[in-house]
Amino acid sequence: MRGSSLAVLVPAWNEEATVADVVSKIREVGPYDVIVINDASTDQTADRADAAGAKVLNLPVNLGAWGATQTGIRFALKKGYHQVITMDADGQHLSSAIPHLLAPIAAQKADVVIGSCTERGSHARKLAWRFFRGMTGLEIEDLTSGFRAYDLPAMKMLASKKATLLEYQDIGVLLLLMNSGLRIQELKVPMSLRLSGSSKIFSSWFKVAEYLLLTLILCTSHFMKSKPCSYVSTRGTL
């Protein structure tokens, strides 16, 4: 039986060093069901997550962070959860912020809450964010944060086929939510430094260039479609 209507989703790819600690810390915060989506890791990620008390979904092939997250959302919907939190498996996101992310959803003030921490971004990243914000009309400061809370309508939207071909859990996902009329709220939260390894998405300059180019194309393709007035973005601080 489920302990709550909330599931915490942790997509993980080769995160054996940190995943167990992340799962344990989430379970310390509340009786949340933790679902680790093992994105075809080649190390002990699945075993460590399982031993720490998480439910583990094993993807047979690597789908990337968003593909893994969507798997978790689809699973959570099938299991009857009404809210999900998504968190990185590298220990950057602090589980103590989970209740704060859930509060606006519980108060029915937002469908999506983004835990943001713009301090972690370099100057180049901040410049890129500003550029993409201008292009899309998104008034969100931290466009790439994977620390988010979604309610049921947002989960349904993100589990749909429309969201399957997205590459990253950032602008594409936010545009989809915004164009569906869902309310997005941003909440400043503290984040810690990555406990081990380096960014998987930005592992090389080539990957950064690829990311920027793909995001630019995505933003351009949505340029005429964006409806900045249909969503409410409010910011708060923890």
Segment interacting with other proteins (CB under 8 A) among 52-60, 86-94, 104-112, 187-195: 52-60
* Strands annotated E in the chain: 6-12, 33-38, 55-58, 83-86, 112-116, 148-150, 184-188, 233-237
- Enter the DSSP assignment of 7: E
* Interface with other proteins in residues 183-202 (CB under 8 A): none
Q: Which is nearer to other proteins, 31 or 60 (CB)?
A: 60
Among 17, 21, 29, 55, binds other proteins (CB under 8 A): 55
CB of 70 to other proteins, least distance (A): 7
Angle in degrees, 0-180, between the axes of helices 205-221 and 171-179, rounded to the nearest 10: 20
User: How far, CA to CA in Å, does 100 sit from each of 29, 128, 233?
Assistant: 12, 28, 16
Applying CB under 8 A, does 70 fall inside the site for other proteins?
Answer: yes
Among 19, 22, 57, 173, binds other proteins (CB under 8 A): 57
Return the closest-CA partner of residue 11 out of 47, 83, 63. Answer: 63
Applying CB under 8 A, does 172 fall inside the site for other proteins?
Answer: no
Handedness of CA 152, 185, 136, 67 (dihedral sign): negative
Q: Which is nearer to other proteins, 1 or 193 (CB)?
A: 1
Q: Which is nearer to other proteins, 142 or 170 (CB)?
A: 170
**Contact positions vs other proteins (CB under 8 A):** 37, 55-61, 63, 67, 70-71, 74-75, 78, 161, 164-165
